[in-house]
Amino acid sequence: MRGKLVTLGEAIGVVAATDPGPLTSGAAMRMDFAGAEATVAIGVSRLGHDSAWVGSVGDDAVGTMVLDRLRAERVDVSRCRIDPELPSGLMLRERRTADRIRVTYYRRGLAGSKLSVAEVDKEQIAAAGVLHLTGITPALSQTARDAVHAALDAAVDAGVLVSLDINYRSALWSRSEAAAELAKLVSRSDIVFAGTDEAALLVPTASPAAMAESLAALGPSQVVLKLGADGALALHRGRQIRQPVLPVTMVDPVGAGDAFVAGYLAGVLDGGPVRHNLRLAATCGAFAVSVPGDWAGLPFRRELDLLTGTDIQR
């Protein structure tokens, strides 16, 4: 498949504790950035395909960091807006214990939520191979929701494949509000990603196979369920394909789902079959959890066989 991946959403700064313990104790912190859609754009770029991220950031150090790092990853940010007044959003990530993370967001009403139709370039989308959307962006604000629908309209009109990761965030909207909006997006998407808890927003709770069938009945030609330790299940043209997780030592689970999506969509852009896409998705997810941070562990194409080789590459 030709064309780049285009995605739009929010990217915010991350101040993360480097060691377990309460933030009130003055824990050491590191600075980074995060955003589901930006992670997917980076992952697809590292796997050799062109990608573009569309968003709004503040005219501040965080906004500069986001755009500089995306450019360094060869992600096109030419349609991004730099807000002259509102600051970029921020996330505090506390590693309260070795295996428990608590997150506090400072994002409401800030630059990222001001993404609007003005940033949507219909020509850019029409030339793309994939438009990737998530359930996070329409929950940010009405202007961001309008931007999502404008991008979706442009993709559908141009015959561009549409990918949607449900990616439900309870801190942003209620289940009922999310279900109503996501139903509209799912019905017009070609590929839908979800966990079983997210799929339950739209279809009755059942076995993963049955839930995939129910989601497919809403419109998408491919449904991919992320099942955590149980791997993943894809449904395409009535055929179910399963993919187990790859055995790795987990360091940080953050970003695994977005890495999985990046791998799958890179596979789609490769023109590969669903089984190839699933394997690539699982590989990217395994790399992601092996390294701290949201996107640092995303693999380059040349590294994909590292997980099946020896412990030392010479």
- 95-102 contacts at long range (C-beta below 8 A, 24 or more positions apart): 95/16, 95/17, 95/18, 95/19, 95/20, 95/21, 95/27, 96/20, 96/21, 96/22, 97/20, 98/20, 101/254
pLDDT, position 313? 45
Instruction: Please answer whether residues 78 and 71 qualify as being in contact, where contact means their C-beta atoms are separated by less than 8 angstroms.
Output: no
pLDDT, position 312? 41
CA distances in angstroms from 216 to 211, 223, 261, listed in the order given: 9, 6, 18
Please, where are the H alpha helices in 193-235?
Answer: 196-199, 208-216
Each residue's pLDDT tens digit, 133-152: 999 999 999 999 999 999 99
Strands (DSSP E) found in the chain? 5-8, 12-17, 29-34, 51-54, 56-58, 75-76, 81-83, 90-97, 100-106, 130-134, 161-165, 191-195, 222-226, 232-236, 239-243
CATH topology of domain 37-57+116-295: UDP-N-acetylmuramoyl-L-alanine:D-glutamate ligase (3.40.1190)
pLDDT, position 306? 85
pLDDT, position 310? 45
pLDDT, position 277? 97
Residues 6+ apart with CB under 8 A from 205: 196, 211
Residues known to be catalytic = 258
Instruction: Please answer whether residues 14 and 93 qualify as being in contact, where contact means their C-beta atoms are separated by less than 8 angstroms.
Output: yes
Each residue's pLDDT tens digit, 185-231: 999 999 999 999 999 999 999 999 999 999 999 999 999 999 998 99
pLDDT, position 121? 98
CA dist., res. 28 & res. 292, Å (int): 15
pLDDT, position 308? 67
Collect the ranges in the chain with pLDDT lower than 50: 310-314
Domain ranges of the chain: 37-57+116-295
User: Residue 280 corresponds to which tokens in the numbers above?
Assistant: 């690539």
pTM for this entry: 0.94
User: Residue 38 corresponds to which tokens in the numbers above?
Assistant: 């930006």
